[in-house]
Amino acid sequence: MIRDITIGQHFPGNSVLHRLDPRMKIVLTMAYIVLLFVAANPAGLALATVLLAGLYRVAKIPLRIIVKSLKPILPIIVFTVVLNLFFITGESQPLVELGFIKIYSEGIRYAVLMGVRIILLIAGTSLLTYTTSPIALTDAIERLLSPLSKLHLPVHELAMVMTIALRFIPTLIEETDKIMNAQKARGAQLDSGTLQQRMKAMVPILIPLFVSAFRRADELAMAMECRCYRGGEGRTRLKQLRLTTNDWLCCVVCLVLFGAIWCTNFFFTGL
């Protein structure tokens, strides 16, 4: 059961979005996030929703996947909406007045906008991880940040850490499973007892896991040395990222649409 966890939530496919250069996808996703904050009017967010829905159609990602990814953050959305509802004060008469709670029409408007914005934020960034494999993402992040290595920031090292982490997640999950079974065979009770007891029962699982992770790290470092690893300098890559005409075309289309959404600001002033 524990092995079924998928990390990065990659949803393999062969759509235009899947094939788009990962660097372009990251940049466009960031532009989209900014857009959600600068186009803070109902029409802007409505258009942004339509655009995202369209992109999900293009990527052929089913609706239930989006719903699933939104579920864990539902409490945050509800919390933000409720908070905004109660604490935004308007100039007009309050719509509802219950003791110290006053709800204004501005509050409702702002709460709805905020809720929609958070949903779009999550759905938008999820689209990036759905259509891009973790390894391509790591690669793209390394390339995008590479100018920073001139400032002596360890960009290559960070990307390497991410790659190795991705590589070892399934291995360590499998190992956790094994250790849990081994401790259960020795009479450990992992599924029963109070919360405190259960947390205590995790200690005999975590300690062997850490010890073995350090041993693995040691061996991996030696294996990497044997294969002439010496940091990022002078390294080449098997897969070269090249921006094609297609990538630029997608970029232009997206930016034009983003621009159009931003322009709604001129028609809707105020909140």
Partner 1 sequence: MENKVMIQAENIRFRYMPELAPAVDGVSMQIKKGEFVAVLGANGCGKSTISKHFNAILLPERGTVMVEGMDTREDAHLYDIRQKVGMVFQNPDNQIVATVVEEDVAFALENLGVPPQEIRTRIDDAMEMAGIAKHKHKAPHKLSGGQKQRVAIAGVIAMRPDCLILDEATAMLDPIGREKVMKTIRRLNKEFGITVVTITHYMEEAAQADRILVMNKGKVVLEGTPKEVFSQVDLLHSLRLDVPQATELAQQLRAAGLDMPNDCITEQECAEALAKLLKNSAN
Contact 7, 134 (CB under 8 A): yes
Q: Is 216 in the site for partner 1 (CB under 8 A)?
A: yes
What is the sign, positive or negative, of the torsion defined by CA atoms of 171, 172, 177, 183?
A: positive
CB of 24 to partner 1, least distance (A): 20
Return the range that interacts with partner 1 (CB under 8 A); candidates 30-38, 90-98, 161-169, 185-193: 161-169
Q: Is 83 in the site for partner 1 (CB under 8 A)?
A: no
Contact 247, 20 (CB under 8 A): yes
Q: Is 135 in the site for partner 1 (CB under 8 A)?
A: yes
Residues 173-187, buried b or exposed e (16+ Cβ, 10 A)?
eebbeebbeebeeee
Contact 173, 3 (CB under 8 A): yes
CB of 44 to partner 1, least distance (A): 39
For the chain, state the CA radius of gyration. 24
Q: Which is nearer to partner 1, 185 or 226 (CB)?
A: 226
Q: Is 164 in the site for partner 1 (CB under 8 A)?
A: yes
246 contacts: CB under 8 Å, gap ≥ 6: 16, 19, 20
Q: Is 99 in the site for partner 1 (CB under 8 A)?
A: no
Q: Is 225 in the site for partner 1 (CB under 8 A)?
A: yes
Q: Is 249 in the site for partner 1 (CB under 8 A)?
A: no
What residues make contact with partner 1 under the rule CB under 8 A?
Answer: 134-135, 163-164, 166-167, 170-171, 174, 215-216, 219-220, 222-230, 234-240
